[in-house]
Amino acid sequence: MRTRVVPRYRDLSPHAVIELHAVDESTVLAVQRWRSRGDLDTAFSSDRFQAWWAGYMPTLRAWDELVVFDVEWEAEVLG
d(CA 39, CA 31): 16
* Res. 54 pLDDT band, cuts 50 70 90: very high
pLDDT digits (tens, 9 = 90+) for 13-24: 999 998 888 888
Least confident of 3-17, 27-41, 60-74: 60-74
Q: Who wins on pLDDT, 63 or 59?
A: 59
Model pLDDT, residue 34: 93
Least confident of 4-8, 18-22, 50-54, 64-68: 64-68
Proportion of the chain above pLDDT 90, given as a percent: 35
d(CA 53, CA 35): 20
